[in-house]
Structure 1
Amino acid sequence: MNSVADRGWSLAAQDIVRAGARMDQRGWVPATAGNLSRRLEDGRIAITRSGCHKGFLAQDDVIEIDPEGRPRVAGDRASAETLLHTQLYAHDPAIGAVLHGHSVAATVLSMILAEPAIRLAGYELLKVFEGQATHETSIRVPVFDNDQDIARLATVVAPSLGTMPAGYLIRGHGVYVWGRDMDMALARLEGLEFLLACELERQKR
C-alpha cells in the first residue's frame, strides 16, 4: 500500500473511532452494539470489526471489506449486518459513511408503534436532512421488521432506497443513517435521534 493510500486508510479509521466515541457518549451503542463504516476515495470500505465496543475503538478495530462485504484479510470478521452497509454504498456512490446505532428511543418507538413508518412533522431540526428547507414539512422514516437473515432483510429494504432522507429503523433494533462523509452522517444521526426522543416523550402524554 502506498503512502497516499495509507493516509486515506488512517483518516477513515480515525473518522470511525471518533464517531464511535461520540455515539457511545450519547448512549447509542451499548455493549458491543452498532457498526460504523466509511468509504475511501479509492472505493475501499472501512468498517468496525465484529464484537468491538464502539466507545473504545482503536484503529486496529477497523477492517477492510470489499463491495460485497467480504473481509480483505483472512481472519478478520465484520459485523453480520455488513450487507446493509454495502447495500447503501452500491446504491449511491455519493454515500461516504454509514452509521448504525441502538438507542433507547429508536428501539422503544419502533416496538410500540405498529405502523410501517414513523412520520416526523413540524420540527425545526428536520432541516438537517437532505432536501428540507423548512420545519413546515414532514419526513417518513420507514420501520422494517427485524430479521436475523440479513440478506433477506436487505431485499425488504431495497425498494425504499433513495426515498429515505432521514434513514430507517429496524423494529426493536436500531437505526441506519448515512451521509456523503462522516460529519454529515453524524449530524443526521444526531438529528434523527433527537427527533425520535421527542416522539417518545410525546408518547408518554
Structure 2
Amino acid sequence: MATERASRQSRVAKLPPRERILDAAEELFSREGIKAVGVQAIADRAATTKMALYRHFATKDALVEEWLRIVAADYTSAFDRLGTAHPDDPRAQILGIARFIADGLPEISHRGCPFINSIAELPDRTHPARQLIEAHKAGQARRLADLCTRAGLSDPDDAAAEITFVLEGAQVSAQNRSVERAGERLMGIVEAILDRRPGRPAVRRP
C-alpha cells in the first residue's frame, strides 16, 4: 500500500497543475464526497494554491462538472472501443459493456459509483453537474437501445431498459454489498435477456 501510494504521488507530481487538481479532486470526491471536500483541501492535495485552482476552474461546481465529464468519457470510450472491435456484432458489444461494468464492480464496492454518489449530493436538477450526469445516462441508454435494435431483439426499447436496470442495479448492489458475486450474476442476467428476446438482426445498409 505504501509503495503504491508513493508511486502515485511520484506520477501525479509530474502532471501539469490542471491535471494535478483534477486528480486530487477525483481522489477526494470519490473518497469523501463532493460536499465534504473544500477547495483548500483539493489545492493542498494537488500541491498548489486556491488562487491557482481558481485560475483553472472558476468555481468548485465547475471542477465537479469537469471531473464528472472525465468519468462519463471513460464509459463512452468503452462503447466506442467495443464498436470498433465488434462493428457487426451488436450482441458482443452489449456483452462487452456488461463485462466492462462487471469488471469495475470491485472498485465500486470500495469507493461507490461516482454518478450515484454525486446524484445523491446534487438534488438541484438545474445544477450543471447533475445535468451532465442525466445527459450522459440518456445518451448511454440510446446507444444501448440502438444495439438492441441492431441485434434484432424483440421490443428493443424494453430490452435496453431491462439491461440498464441490471447494469445500474449491479453497481448499487456492489456498493452496498447486498449481493454476492454481483459481476458474475450481472453477466448471467444480461445473457439471459439477450437469449430470451431472440429476433432477426437488423440489416445494416451501406
TM-score (normalizing by structure 2): 0.29
Q: More strand by proportion, 1 or 2?
A: 1
Q: More helix by proportion, 1 or 2?
A: 2
TM-score (normalizing by structure 1): 0.29
Larger Rg: 2
